[in-house]
Amino acid sequence: MPSKSPNARLTSGSHWALLGASVNAVLALVKIACGIVGHSYALIADGIESTLDIFGSLLVWAGLRLAALPPDDTHPYGHGKAETLAAIAVGVLLLGTSILLAVQSVREILTPHHAPAPFTLVVLLVVIAIKEGLFRKVLHHGSELGSVALESDAWHHRADAITSVAAFLGIIVALIGGDGYESADDYAALVACVVIAFNGVRVLGPAINEAMDTAPSPHIEAGVREVAALVSGVGGVETCRVRKMGVEFYVDLHVLVSGEMSVRDGHTIAHAVKDAVRDRMPAVADVLVHIEPI
C-alpha cells in the first residue's frame, strides 16, 4: 500500500495528468499539421486522438484535484469518487474516439488520395518514443499512488503510441507498394481503432468495479487483519470489509475481546486498533471498529 498521505498522492497524480495534457497538446498540433501536409490520414487521425487525449488528461487532473478536497457536510466520506468518475470518463472517451476514427477511416479508404509523404515516418518515430515513455512513467506513478484515474490516463498514452505504430506500418506499406496502396495507412488507422477500443474497455473495467465498491486486492484486507490482531487486548479479528474511495480505503472491522471486559476498556481497544491500522497503512482514511465478545 502507498506510504504517502492521500492528499500528497492526489497532488502528485494531478501533476502527471497536467504534464500529459501539455505533451498531448504539442503532439496533436504536430501530427495534424504533418498529416495534412504529408497526405496521411492515419497521422491526422492520430493527431485527433491526441487532441481528445488532452481532454482525457484534463479530466483526470480535475478528478484528482476534486478528490483531494476534504470531507464536508454533503460529502462526509470525502470526494474520492471524483477520481473514479474521471477514470470512467476517460474510458468512455477512448471508446467514443475509436468509433469516430473508424467511421472516418472507412470514408478515407473509399476516397482516392495521394500516398503519404516519407517525412511522416520520422514524425511518427518521435511520437512513438515520447508516448511510450510517458505511458511507462504515468502507469508506474498511477500504480504507486493507487490511482485508477491516473492509470487510465497512462493507457490513453499507450493507445496513442499504438495508433502511431499502426500509422507508421501503414505508411511504409503505402510507400513501398506504390500505386494501389495509397490507402494502406487508412487501413492501419482502422486497426488502431480496434486497439483504442480495447484500451477503453480495459480502463472502464477497474473504474466501474471501484464505483461499485468491489473489494480491493486481498493483500489490503490481510494487512488490516494483521495489524489489528497485534493490538494488545485483541483476541482475534472476525469480519473485515474494505472499500476504496478514490485513493483512500475505508475499513469496517469486527474484533474479538474478552467478554468480561468493561465498555470503557473495549472502547480504548477499539481506538487503539483504529490508530494502529491508520499509522501502519496511511492510505486507510478511516476504520470503523465493532467490538465482539469472545
Q: What is the CATH number of the domain that holds 280?
A: 3.30.70.1350
Model pLDDT, residue 209: 86
Q: Is residue 265 part of a domain?
A: yes
On whether both 128 and 236 belong to a single domain, the answer is no
Q: What is the CATH number of the domain that holds 168?
A: 1.20.1510.10
Cell numbers representing residue 83 in the block: 477520481
Whether pLDDT at 267 is above 90: yes
How many domains does the structure of the chain reveal? 2
pTM, two decimal places: 0.71
Is 173 found in the same domain as 43? yes
Contact, 55 vs 188, CB < 8 A? no
Residues 176 and 261 in one domain: no
- How far, in Å, CA of 32 to CA of 53, rounded? 14
pLDDT at residue 288 greater than cutoff 90? yes
Considering 170, 186, 211, which residue would you say is the last residue of a domain? 211
Residue 113's pLDDT is what? 63
Same domain flag for 30 and 138: yes
- The answer on 139 and 64 residing in a single domain is yes
| Residues near 31 by beta carbon (within 8 Å), at least 6 away in sequence | 43, 44, 46, 47, 50, 123, 127
Residues 224 and 146 in one domain: no
Boundary (domain end) residue, out of 193, 211, 229: 211
Quick check: helix, strand or coil at residue 254?
strand
83 and 117 housed in the same domain: yes
Residues 62 and 98 in one domain: yes
Three cell numbers, residue 21? 495534457
Question: Is 33 a member of any domain?
Answer: yes
Choosing from 154, 187, 211, the residue where a domain stops is 211
Q: Which of 53-62, 134-143, 160-169, 254-263 has the highest mean pLDDT?
A: 254-263
- Which residue reads 476516397 in cell numbers? 111
Q: Scanning the structure block, which residue is given the C-alpha cell 487510465?
A: 152
- Between helix 41-67 and helix 148-177 the angle, nearest 10°, is 170
Of 143, 128, 55, 150, nearest to 94 by C-alpha is 55
Does a structural domain hold residue 181? Answer: yes
Which amino acid belongs to residue 86?
A: A
Tell whether 144 is covered by a domain.
Answer: yes
1 pLDDT more than 70: no
Q: Which residue has the cell 468493561?
A: 262
Q: Are 93 and 101 in contact (CB under 8 A)?
A: no
Residue 105 lies in a domain: yes
Residues 236 and 278 in one domain: yes
Query: Is residue 14 predicted with pLDDT exceeding 80?
Result: no
Mean pLDDT of the chain: 83
Q: Measured on CA atoms in the order 1, 145, 8, 68, is the torsion positive or negative?
A: negative
> What residues contact 26, with CB distance under 8 A and at least 6 apart?
none
Chain centre to alpha carbon of residue 232: 40
278 and 159 assigned to the same domain: no
Q: How confident is the model at residue 6 (pLDDT cuts 50, 70, 90)?
A: low
Instruction: Report d(CA 287, CA 106) in Å as an integer.
Output: 54
pLDDT value of residue 223: 93
User: Which element (helix H / strand E) includes 257?
Assistant: strand 248-257
Q: What is the mean pLDDT of residues 8-18?
A: 71
In a domain, 1, yes or no: no
Same domain, 197 and 237: no
76 exposure class (CB count in 10 Å sphere: 0-12, 13-18, 19+): exposed
Residues 207 and 222 both lie in one domain: no
Domain of 199, in residue numbers? 6-211
How far apart CA 223 and CA 209 sit, in angstroms, is 21
